[in-house]
Amino acid sequence: MEKQIYDLAIIGAGPAGLTAGVYAARAGLNVAMIERGAPGGQMVNTGEIENYTGFEMISGPELSMKMFEHAQKTGAKYVYGDVQDVTVLENGTHSINLGQKEVEAKAVIVATGTVHRPLNVPGEKELSGRGISFCAICDGAFFKGRKVAVIGGGDSAVEEAIYLAGLCEKVYIVHRRDELRAQKILQNRAFAIDNIEMVWDTVVESFEEASGKLGSIKTKSVKTGDVSSLEVDGAFIYVGLDPITNMVKGLGITDARGYIEVNPHMETKLPGVFAAGDVTNKELRQVVTATNDGAIAAQTAYKYIETTLKSS
Ligand code: FAD
Ligand code: NAP
């Protein structure tokens, strides 16, 4: 099996991993950024970012490209691959298994982010890709001029509903409470858009098929228990995110919800294993906090490698 050796391996090239790459390479480390998808992480699927300081508005793909080019220019190496697992070797280094190849590194930063949580209701799996989507930027255009529903009440649901309202005839936001969780600025924007309609206090019972694709959503009022049918061509599910930590599950560094536990220096309880970004147990999951974590993790990893090297 092909084996590559680095000082530092960063798993995931979203804003956390790319920023860690910039800081680590500038500190003189030989660093690999291992990524299984497109560099930029969740930013790639975000239309407009309006809260990354210095950019009043920048598209997600553009910011992804800028960060990626920046990291590469500093000397951080991009390694394409899907990390299967991470093992701490007896000599204290780390083996990162990518299936067909192996990367060995003195230290590791896990920056694998999160994945959209499914609703787990009947019809969801079967109709995914046939009317049900988890990405408005990717699939919104299929529903141009048609009716769609967005499920959820957080930043993702409201931001993506606003995006969809520009394409679709009608956008229903189906939310289980009578108050949104999303930032006020997004709420106010959504409330001002004529073709967005709020469906409050309502949960999805099932997604129903018509002519081989999504035809309607069976909903239930949590207040009255009444069951209704919402006729839509598309449904976009934004009911939260789950951390991607399967590759480190053997290391015992996650909390009960699966997030990686870190201290303010982005250290896990295992020497030489650090984490950054959305995958960590923190409050605010944003591009700016991911880049912050990445910078700290790289600096701490650099100090760890320097100290370990000097004393060995
Ligand atoms: P991610 O961006 O999730 O990147 C993680 C990377 O790790 C991914 O590229 C993934 O492919 C890779 N990876 C995972 N597992 C593996 C593996 N086993 N092997 C190799 N690679 C792996 N924040 C804002 O500040 N402003 C916004 O406007 C905004 N809009 C958003 C809109 C939506 C719809 C969503 C879902 C989020 C939005 N966010 C926004 C939040 C922001 O995108 C995240 O906080 C940020 O991307 C987290 O960065 P990260 O690097 O921690 O993780
Ligand atoms: P989130 O903040 O966890 O919100 C999930 C939403 O889905 C909540 O409104 C929740 O309802 C609802 N929900 C959860 N489980 C449900 C279920 N089983 N049935 C029905 N509804 C359910 O997730 P998110 O909106 O994806 O945001 C994730 C992170 O990314 C956040 O930190 C967010 O700030 C960030 N983000 C930021 C931006 C931005 O800055 N512009 C944009 C997108 C995302 P309750 O409210 O009742 O709990």
For 32-72, write each residue's pLDDT tens digit.
999 999 999 999 988 889 999 999 999 999 999 999 999 99
Is the confidence at residue 311, as pLDDT, over 70? no
**Closest C-alpha residue for ligand 2 atom 22:** 239
Is 138 known to be catalytic?
Answer: yes
Q: Which atom of ligand 2 is nearest to the CA of 152?
A: 7
Structure tokens at 53: 């300081």
Cα torsion through 230, 236, 238, 243, rounded to 10: 140
Query: How confident is residue 103, by pLDDT bands cut at 50, 70 and 90?
Result: very high
Sign of the CA dihedral with 34 first, then 39, 44, and 48 last: positive
Is the confidence at residue 309, as pLDDT, over 80? no
Is 139 known to be catalytic?
Answer: yes
Structure tokens at 87: 């093992």
The CA radius of gyration of the chain, in Å to the nearest whole number, is 21
Could you say which ligand is closest to the alpha carbon of residue 63? 1
User: Residues lining ligand 2, CB < 6 A?
Assistant: 51, 119, 152-157, 159, 176-177, 181, 203, 238-241, 285-286
Structure tokens at 30: 């030989």
Rounded average pLDDT over 161-190? 97
In angstroms, what is the span from residue 242 Cα to ligand 2's centroid?
Answer: 11
Q: Could you count the other beta carbons within 10 Å of the beta carbon of residue 35?
A: 25
**Closest C-alpha residue for ligand 2 atom 9:** 153
Which entry of 85, 135, 194, 226 is annotated as an active-site residue?
135
In angstroms, what is the span from residue 208 Cα to ligand 1's centroid?
Answer: 31
Q: β-strands 85-88, 77-80: how paired?
A: unpaired
Could you say which ligand is closest to the alpha carbon of residue 183? 2
Element (H, E) at 134: none
- Whole-angstrom Cα distance, residue 237 to residue 251? 31
Quote the pTM value. Answer: 0.91
Is 168 known to be catalytic?
Answer: no
